[in-house]
A = this chain, B = another copy of it.
Amino acid sequence: MQNIVDQIYREMAARNDRGKVAGYIPQLACVDPNEFGISLIMQDGTKYSAGCANTLFSIQSISKVFTLTIALGKLGDEIWTRVGREPSGDPFNSIVQLEHEAGRPRNPFINAGAIVIADAIMMGNEPKEALAEILQFIRFVADDDTIGIDEKVVKSELLNGSRNASLANFMASFDRLRNPVDKVLGTYFHHCSISMSCEQLAKAGSFLVSNGVNYSTGIQVVPEHRARRINSLMLMCGHYDGSGEFAFRVGLPGKSGVGGGILAIAPGKASIAVWSPGLDSIGNSKLGTEALEMLVQRTGWSIFGH
């Protein structure tokens, strides 16, 4: 396994076409496009890493996997009255579908849906408290208390958050939010600004590998059926309007972030985190996707074969 991981790292290091680093906030734009990290946690806890697997990066939308998990824990299936579970067929920040469907987002992984999830987690609390809860959960599943928020990224998000402010206000105009728009956005921008390394992220995702059980502690983080459902949502909607492409090429549930990270889950096998800041035209990590494609080809881990 370490051989495979090393090989992937070497191949990726040699690639010239590395995509384009996200430019929409300055704090992300100044990251070095040549960095690449990969980390695997097998179901039994064995770890394989290569490249800058301990470098912190902005997890951005990958945080949506954790906020969804928390919201499901707090509210159960009631959450599905507020957000759908279908791919949208539209870019991550599209507002067209919202107008056609009375302000209800298609799924929890497009921006509008994640904003609703942030609102649902808050339950009248201040952003500070909601964030404490989110961080606590991520630290718990990653078994790592050092994980925190990059305040420079937060500031950058706030200064460049017009599109998300538009989405949140749009939903508010349909009475879809229960907390003030600016507080919901505060929570949302902060949880998107959490920094993690590939190793931390792979560990944090590992409860989704084992039907909801944390490999190291044996604790059932979420019920079995919920782990499966979160995986299904990651597969269907985890890469926006590139989700079909990711399923076709990689064949694993995965969630990408514009920071260049991807968390992918091979049920019963491993939790995998890759990071490379260059993005494809849809906004998913270019080398990250290619690395995962290679990994699945060599391991046969696609959920569509056996």
Contacts and interface: CB of A to CB of B under 8 A. Distances in A.
Contact of A247 (B172, B236, B245, B268): B236
A34 interface: no
Interface residues of A, number: 57
A94 interface: yes
Given A89-B90, A233-B244, A235-B304, 17 more contacts: A84-B244, A86-B89, A86-B242, A86-B245, A88-B89, A96-B100, A162-B170, A162-B172, A163-B169, A165-B166, A166-B167, A227-B304, A232-B248, A232-B251, A235-B236, A269-B306, A303-B303
Assembly stoichiometry (copies): 4
Contact of A99 (B88, B89, B95): B95
Given A163-B173, A305-B224, A248 B235 contact: no
A228 interface: yes
Contacts of A98: 95
A48 B300 CA distance: 29
Give the most central of A94, A243, A251, A269: most B CB within 10 Å: A251
Interface string A237-275: 100011111011001010000000000000111000000
A226 to B, nearest CB: 10
A170 B99 CA distance: 13
Contacts of A236: 87, 235-236, 243-244, 247-248
Contacts of A268: 305-306
A85 interface: yes
A160 to B, nearest CB: 8
A302 interface: yes
A268 B268 CA distance: 14
A306 B174 CA distance: 40
Contacts of A86: 87, 89, 241-245
9 contacts: A86-B244, A87-B244, A94-B99, A96-B99, A162-B169, A163-B169, A166-B170, A228-B305, A231-B304
8 closest cross-chain pairs (CB), A and B: A89-B89, A268-B306, A86-B244, A166-B169, A231-B304, A163-B173, A162-B173, A166-B170
Nearest to A89: B89
Nearest to A233: B248
A166 B173 contact: yes
Contacts of A89: 86-90, 97, 106
A107 B85 CA distance: 19
Nearest to A241: B86
